[in-house]
Amino acid sequence: MVAAEKTADSQGNTYAQMMETAGRGLAQAIIARWPVQEASVLVLVGPGNNGGDGLVAGRYLAEAGADVAFYLFKPRDPATDENYAKIQQMGLFAVDASFDQRFRVLRTRLRLTDILIDALLGTGVTRPITGDLAKLLQQTATGLAERRAELVAAARSALTNLTDFSDKETRREGDRENLSPTPSPLTVAVDCPSGLNCDTGELDPVALPADLTVTFAGPKRGHFVFPGATSVGELVVADIGITPEMVEDVPVEVATLELARDLLPARPKDGHKGTFGKLLIAAGCEKYRGAPLLAARGAFRAGAGLVTLAVPTALRLGISIALPEATYLDMTDRRHGEDTGRSNEGWLTAVSAHTIRQTASSYDALLVGPGLGDADDFITTLFPADGTAPDLPTLIDADGLNALARLDRWWQRLPARCVLTPHPAEMARLMGISLAELLAKDRIETAVAQASKWNQVVLFKGAYTVVAAPDGRATLLPFASPVLAVGGSGDVLSGVIATLLGQGLSPYDAARLGGALHGLAGERSGRKFGLLASEIADWLPEAIKLL
């Protein structure tokens, strides 16, 4: 951003213009979300450009009818600071922290604040916050807590209804106030919450968590790295006139609705089931009977034309009852001459792998792995060391990845067009390191490095999933949804991505779009918890409709 702003300034989009545009965008984001007419707004103004953005935003909010006050951490000179001079000309209240004994003015103003704008530090934080600034942030946090407690107490009814458990009283109050459900006072961060390191995601203990963060030109990596990501709230990017040509080569992007919409495959009116992809899923064992069902359900809900299941014989009847739309590959589960001590019908075997190798060319994509259990023989036969694996777009997940991780130089066995979808524990196994070592690494850098090493697309699961391509490109998916953290969720995701592979998308685009659809399904459900994996699949059409 530093380099981009310098380039913009040298090309005529001056720092003063960018500050005006940033402040106006910040005000617009607030006005679009909350009523500001007669609202009490307090702007915490830092000494740098971040504070200047706050001054501009406060001016626009005042023009929109808000009662705006400014609290300056460091003095500003109206003779040299045009934005400070403008708020003085408007007669808006401003006070320097150096004149506020024991923060009395600050605490008094916080008692009536509806919207707090944190324009203290911005993106330049790299050191711990100490001294007077730490005291200011601590006093602000205490004042906000007191204000919230007062509002909760004031809203509490003296009447307790013991027979009506509807939400009509809550809705009536919400209609009357016309406020966001976010507890007032609302905290808005300029660029990032003060105390968030925008490179590393480290969060200072005195940082103020935000309900809304308005950042400029593009998101920063720290917005998506924990623990800092917990303090960002809703994240909005405001355009300040920095074009892509002004930005140094940054191969990492964040997926947007527009990107996902552009990747959606066509659904021609004269299409048939062959048009929309024929998918073969090799999955399941006695222990994980639901995994192939969930993958197939995700595939169908994502628009697959035909889904064929290669599952152990013991699973076929139950799955066919639950999902009669699927077809089944005629599998032989028996291990020739081998007594494994378990049912020969409950696991996919080397013989099963030979069957898949013989028939794979009839399909548009292959999904391998969900719920396979102990499938080493199956995986080594399906992906032999001589590199003669079935040559079609392939997604490998779950126990398929675990079995590969036990093989030396396993990535050399894979066909050319693969998507690997590990969660952190599976990624650690594939890399041959401990989970603790993996978690200490940068998620984006890890995904990019492994995609390059393995020469395959890697979708690294987790809050803010990363999709990396072998050529160094990466897309971060802006979803951190605990509602998706449920057993079987990954099986559904695999079915979605494999469907898109079968519909002709490249591995990188299929992984990006599939991950986005999966995240959007969780968002569209409107739930915070309690969503079943099968229900995630059922929300996929709503996610596609949104796009």
Q: In the chain, where are the structural domains located?
A: 2-250, 258-546
Describe the crossing of helices 49-63 and 82-89 by its angle, rounded to 10 degrees: 30
Q: CA 102 to CA 97: how far, in whole Å?
A: 9
Q: Residues in the chain, how many? A: 547
Which pLDDT value is given to residue 332? 65
Per-residue pLDDT of the chain (547 residues; tens, 9 = 90+): 888 888 999 999 999 999 999 999 999 999 999 999 999 999 999 998 999 999 999 999 999 999 999 999 999 999 999 999 999 999 999 999 999 999 999 999 999 999 999 999 988 788 899 999 999 999 999 999 999 998 888 888 888 888 987 765 444 444 434 444 445 789 999 999 999 999 999 999 999 999 999 999 999 999 999 999 999 999 999 999 998 888 877 789 999 999 999 999 999 999 999 999 999 999 999 999 999 999 999 999 999 999 999 999 999 999 999 999 999 998 765 544 444 444 457 899 999 999 999 999 999 999 999 999 998 999 999 999 998 999 999 999 999 999 999 999 999 999 999 999 999 999 999 999 999 999 999 999 999 999 999 999 999 999 999 999 999 999 999 999 999 999 999 999 999 999 999 999 999 999 999 999 999 999 999 898 999 999 999 999 999 999 9
**Topology match between the domains 2-250 and 258-546:** no
Compute φ and ψ for 346, nearest 5 degrees.
-105, 5
Under 8 Å CB-to-CB from 154, ≥6 apart: which residues?
Answer: none
Q: Amino acid identity of 26?
A: L
d(CA 93, CA 100): 14
Q: Report the C-alpha gap between 121 and 222 in whole angstroms.
A: 14
Count the neighbouring beta carbons within 10 Å of the beta carbon of residue 127. 8
For every residue of 492-526, DSSP letters joined together read HHHHHHHHHHHTT--HHHHHHHHHHHHHHHHHHTT
- Contacts for 329 with CB less than 8 Å, ≥ 6 apart: 280, 308, 309, 310, 355, 356, 359
CA atoms within 13 A on the CB side of 409: 5
* Cα(167)–Cα(180) distance, integer angstroms: 16
Task: List the alpha helices (DSSP H) in 164-290.
Answer: 168-177, 257-263
The dotted CATH code for 258-546 is 3.40.1190.20
Main-chain phi, psi angles of 533, to 5 degrees = -60, -40
Give the type of residue at 343. S
Residue of 349, 377, 382, 343 lying closest to 366 (CA atoms): 382
Tokens 């920095």 correspond to 242
Joined together, the tokens standing for residue 424 give 């952190």
The H-or-E segment that residue 117 falls in is: strand 115-119
- CA-CA distance, 209 to 320, in Å (whole number)? 49
Q: Which residues of 279-311 are buried (b: 16+ CB within 10 A; e: fewer)?
A: bbbbbbbeebbbbbbbbbbbbbbbbbbbbbbbb
CATH numeric code, 2-250: 3.40.50.10260
Cα 288 to Cα 99, 162, 316, 459: the distances in Å are 67, 44, 13, 22
- Find the helix packing angle between 15-33 and 82-89, rounded to 10°: 50
Residues 6+ apart with CB under 8 A from 275: 268, 305
- CB of 56 closer than 8 Å to CB of 119: no
Please give the helix or strand (H or E) that residue 252 lies within, else none: strand 252-254
Instruction: Say what the pLDDT of residue 333 is.
Output: 56
Cα distance between residue 459 and residue 252, in whole Å: 14
Distance CA 48, CA 121 (A): 7
